């Protein structure tokens, strides 16, 4: 989705709270993958839903913003033979998620028990778990950050993914204190 369409989408959703919620979730995602100890973004769906569309948008946003840390590795429940390298990472890669890793679950339906166990293992190993889901009660205590799209039909769920991906590269707001600190610690300007 191009910038004009995203802007139109944000405008049409003004007053609903969705742009703000998506922005807050995107800020948490960006903060997690750009922190000093970050070691990568793993993107996983459910056996019935692969978030390849979000993976493509995050990769585009990462390239556009010069934030390679934002480009995800898509983990697939079933990798078809001959899949291109960027689409050939299976779910076993989730077992290697440790401190520094960020795992983003995108689930418009309930996650099954084996996936929940793998996500719990990754979280216990120190990975940050973010969830974009339909309100699955199993994720309430599991996810560190969560954006819930209740009663997620395919189209609204995809629109929220567009809001999140576009908001990940929005410049974070700087406080007056951070601007002052930057001015005080910068080298003086030599005018002559």
Tokens of 44: 């996983």
Tokens of 101: 């890793």
Give the separation between CA 36 and CA 18, rounded to whole angstroms: 29
Mean pLDDT of 31-54: 93
Mean pLDDT of 74-97: 91
Q: Is 89 helix (H, G, I), strand (E, B) or coil?
A: strand
pLDDT of residue 10: 66
pLDDT of residue 32: 94
- Residue 191 — pLDDT band, cuts 50, 70, 90? low
- Mean pLDDT score of the chain: 85
Q: Tell me if the pTM is above 0.85.
A: no
Phi, psi of 95 (to 5 degrees): -65, -20
Phi, psi of 84 (to 5 degrees): -60, 155
Whether the CB-CB separation of 54 and 22 falls below 8 Å is answered with no
136 φψ region: left (φ > 0), alpha (ψ -120 to 50), beta (else): beta
Mean pLDDT of 124-138: 95
More confident position, 171 or 16: 16
């Amino acid at each position: 989705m191009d910038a004009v369409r995203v802007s139109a989408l944000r405008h049409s959703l003004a007053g609903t709270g969705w742009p703000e919620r998506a922005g807050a979730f995107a800020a948490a995602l960006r903060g997690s993958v750009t922190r000093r100890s970050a070691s990568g973004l793993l993107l996983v769906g459910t056996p019935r839903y692969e978030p390849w569309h979000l993976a493509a948008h995050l990769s585009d946003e990462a390239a556009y913003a010069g934030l390679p840390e934002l480009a995800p590795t898509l983990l697939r429940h079933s990798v078809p033979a001959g899949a291109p390298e960027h689409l050939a990472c299976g779910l076993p890669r989730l077992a290697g998620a440790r401190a520094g890793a960020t795992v983003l679950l995108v689930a418009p339906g309930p996650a099954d028990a084996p996936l929940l166990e793998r996500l719990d293992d990754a979280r216990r190993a120190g990975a940050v778990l973010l969830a974009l889901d339909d309100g699955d009660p199993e994720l309430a205590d599991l996810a560190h950050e969560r954006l819930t799209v209740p009663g997620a039909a395919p189209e609204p769920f995809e629109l929220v993914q567009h809001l999140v991906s576009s908001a990940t590269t929005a410049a974070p707001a700087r406080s007056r204190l951070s601007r002052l600190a930057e001015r005080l610690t910068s080298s003086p300007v030599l005018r002559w």
